[in-house]
Amino acid sequence: MTDLSRIRNVAIVGTHHSGKTTVAEAILAFTGAIARRGSVADGTTTTDHEPECIAHAQSTTAGFAHCTADGIVHITLADCPGFIDFFEETKQVLAGVDAAVVVVDADPSRVAHSLSVVEYLESRRLPHLFVINKMDRPGADFEGTLNALQSAYGRHVVAEQWPIGAAESFEGFVDLTDMKARRCDGDRESIAAFPESLRERIASARAQMLEAIADFDDHLLEELLEGAEPPLDEVERDLCAECSHDQIVPVLACAAATGAGIAALVRAIVTWLPSPADAPQLDVEGREIAPDADAPAVARVIKTMVHPQSGKLSMVRMIAGTIKPDATLNDLSRGDEKVRCAGLFRLQGKKQEALAQAGPGELVALARLETVSTGDVLTGNGRTVMLAHAPIADPVFAAAIKPKERMDEARLSQALSRIVDEDPALRTQRADVTNELLLLGSGEQHVTIAVERLSRKYKVDVEIAAPAIAYLETITVPTEIHSRYKHQTGGHGQFGDVWLRFEPRERGSGCAFAETIVGGVVPRQFIPAVEKGVFEALLHGTSGFPVTDVQVTLFDGQYHDVDSSEQSFRVAAGMAVRDALPKCKPVVLEPIVRVRVEVPSAFTSAVIAQLTGKRGQILGMTSSERTGFDVVEALVPHVELSRYITELRTATQGLGSYTWHHERYDPVPITKAVGPKAVV
């Protein structure tokens, strides 16, 4: 049985492209878990193994790997994608780890990009530390980045190291706890001469660190007030306790590409970040779930992977109990359904290492749990436990998707359901009005990569396009129309004769049919056929779009004893609609949506200008509950929003978000041309 205190489950999160995957690779290489360090550029890293990651040179999904530090502490790393489109996946993974390493670039201007994930860590009170990476890059600015982190996240974010040099002269660092200088040669460290030129700066950084630590330790505070030098072991003990309780957030420096600083980072993970014993997982009411190996199992599914050949793998966080490769578990999230595993693995990137059993605190993959999804809670022996959900945000981007070959339609819907099974932030939906099949997700890249994954894994070639806008048509003036359908084709003829009145109805009320026939001029049995003919013809107005908000009344007509039939009245009614619409001054209506945009206040005016440029009508601006954020509400034509999430994120350093719902239909401005037939 693994000693729980020797386990660390750590997510590597942070800003896009800050070097998370490179940090993970450097840790694996330093600890000897891999023989050779791969690189993102070559597509050879352990955690970015998915072909889409390699093709885009970025993480497109979370990757898992593990290593052993100092031969005793077993670390499982979850390398999370940094691009904001994949944040929903990161949130699910964070529900299964005990701590996080937040990697940021050594560039103060990029610190704001880490806001969403850091706020999320803070809201979950998940212990974390910062690593300022790319210290070897020209212009690397540790101090500026540290200041930016402190002003964004508060004074308990403190440097625990001070780098010696930067860019090509980045040599190592001074450890502010023991005040020893360490020189880095790749990922190896050696004690070096203290950099006297930095003594003053380092002393003040150390004082700041001690003051922050002393906020949670009165004894240390007294020592500092008396001007006494606190003993090393007291400082180390405090750092360890306060970091693992999310009171202090230490900041380290590294250059993952060269390995410099990685040894210290591994030390930090081992000594400061909590083990599953230090931070037991909580149930929905905040009660600790004892990580007891002998209790019935409790596991949370934090990620799902589907391999077209070898099948489904569910990555789970074992919270309690011990399971074997053929374990039978209850899926509490699916009405207690019984599921049976067909294999138990530990993942090293794409490699699956078979395990004989797994106990509390471990992150392992269970094979072939076909009905199980990310977020599900699995238990053994009928145990009931309620865990809090990591909610998944509603999609903000949609693409219309169809197979290149029509015969692939069934295969496409099957493949889509598997892709959605792997990634709960994706959804599929049939669009109202246009009837297109939509794939929805957290952003343009999220959906595009899902489509690439779908084509690769399930060999379905698809076309994607911006979803068609559900335009409608309506009339603005009333008219009355007479229409007669008369046809002689030997034998029976056809005869239908109707008088229809067309009147505009209130916007949003739809179409309605009525009749005021007296004296049987149109016999009762044919009236439903008239109604049918009317509604069929209203599906395609003068512009080709469906017609709405029209009252159609059958008020007169004629029939023929022999030749009249349902069919002839249906045709006559359709002809009447087609004749009437052009006479009723038709207009095209476009969907207007109400958007609620949340942005950091610094970007509010830019966002308002952006919405106005989209023909938006600003309804109001208020302060958000989220500190430093504003909420802007506006009515915007739907057609203007097809790429809005991308544009909004570009304009707001990735921090803007929005929700929307359909509000109403408005006439398209006279100058706008919309298909299928342009209206001018």
Ligand X SMILES: Nc1nc2c(ncn2[C@@H]2O[C@H](COP(=O)(O)OP(=O)(O)OP(=O)(O)O)[C@@H](O)[C@H]2O)c(=O)[nH]1
Q: Which residues bind ligand X (CB under 6 A)?
A: 16-22, 39-41, 58-59, 81-83, 103, 133-134, 136-137, 255-257
Task: Compute the least distance from the CB of residue 59 to ligand X, in Å.
Answer: 3
256 contact, one of Mg ion, ligand X, none, CB 5-8 Å limit per kind: ligand X
Which residues fall within 8 angstroms of residue 280, CB to CB, at 6 or more apart? Answer: 288, 289, 290, 291
Does 322 interact with Mg ion (rule: CB under 5 A)? no
Entry field: residues in the chain: 680
Lookup: tokens for 433:
């009005």
* DSSP code of residue 28: H
Residue 257 binds which entry of Mg ion, ligand X, none, CB below 5-8 Å type-dependent: ligand X
The secondary structure element, H or E, covering residue 312 is: strand 311-320
**Residue 595 interacting entry, from Mg ion, ligand X, none, C-beta within 5 to 8 Å by type:** none
Nearer Cβ to ligand X, position 133 or 652? 133
Q: CA 587, CA 22: separation in Å to the nearest integer?
A: 57
Q: Quote the least distance from Cβ 452 to ligand X, whole Å.
A: 15
Half-sphere exposure of 98 (CA within 13 A, CB side): 30
Nearest to 309 by CA among 361, 339, 352: 352
Phi-psi sector, 259: left (phi>0), alpha (psi -120 to 50), beta:
left
List the single partner that 19 binds among ligand X, Mg ion, none, CB under 5 to 8 Å by kind: ligand X
Residue nearer to ligand X on the CB measure, 133 or 474:
133
Do 149 and 130 form a contact (C-beta atoms < 8 A)? yes
Indicate the DSSP class of residue 110: G
Shortest CB 137 distance to ligand X, Å: 5
What residue number has its CB nearest to ligand X?
Answer: 82
> In angstroms, rounded to a whole number, what is the distance separating the alpha carbons of residues 422 and 438?
17
* Nearest CB to ligand X, comparing residues 18 and 565: 18
Q: Which does 182 bind (CB under 5 to 8 A by kind): Mg ion, ligand X, none?
A: none
Cβ closest to Mg ion, residue 133 vs residue 553: 133
Beta carbons within 8 Å of 663's beta carbon, 6+ residues apart: 592, 593, 594, 635
Least Å distance, CB 19 to ligand X, is 3
- Footprint (CB under 5 A) of Mg ion, residues 18-77: 20-21, 59
Which of the stretches 13-21, 356-364, 396-404, 499-507 binds Mg ion when contact is defined by CB under 5 A?
13-21
Q: How many residues bind Mg ion (CB under 5 A)?
A: 3
In whole angstroms, the minimum distance from the beta carbon of 86 to Mg ion comes to 10
Residues 6+ apart with CB under 8 A from 318: 297, 298, 299, 358, 359, 360, 361, 362, 363, 364
- Per CB under 5 A, the segment of 16-24, 99-107, 160-168, 444-452 that binds Mg ion is 16-24
Could you tell me the smallest distance in angstroms from the CB atom of residue 89 to ligand X?
Answer: 11
Nearer to Mg ion, 21 or 474 (CB): 21
Element (H, E) at 105: strand 99-105
What are the distances in angstroms from CA 655 to CA 116, 424, 449? 7, 22, 21
Instruction: Look at residue 261 and give the partner it binds from ligand X, Mg ion, none, a contact being a CB closer than 5 to 8 Å depending on partner kind.
Output: none
Answer with the entry of ligand X, Mg ion, none that 104 interacts with (C-beta below 5 to 8 A by kind): none
| Choice between 57 and 224, CB closer to ligand X | 57
**Minimum Å distance from CB 349 to ligand X?**
14
Non-local (6+) Cβ contacts of 196 within 8 A are none
Q: Which is nearer to Mg ion, 21 or 177 (CB)?
A: 21
3-state secondary structure of 450: helix
Which residue lies nearer to ligand X by CB, 103 or 158?
103
CB of 150 to ligand X, least distance (A): 22
Q: Which does 83 bind (CB under 5 to 8 A by kind): Mg ion, ligand X, none?
A: ligand X
Query: Smallest Cα–Cα separation from 13: which of 178, 158, 126?
Result: 126
Q: Using CA atoms, how far apart are residues 93 and 99, in angstroms rounded to an integer?
A: 11
Q: Which is nearer to ligand X, 94 or 577 (CB)?
A: 94
Binding interface with Mg ion (CB under 5 A): 20-21, 59
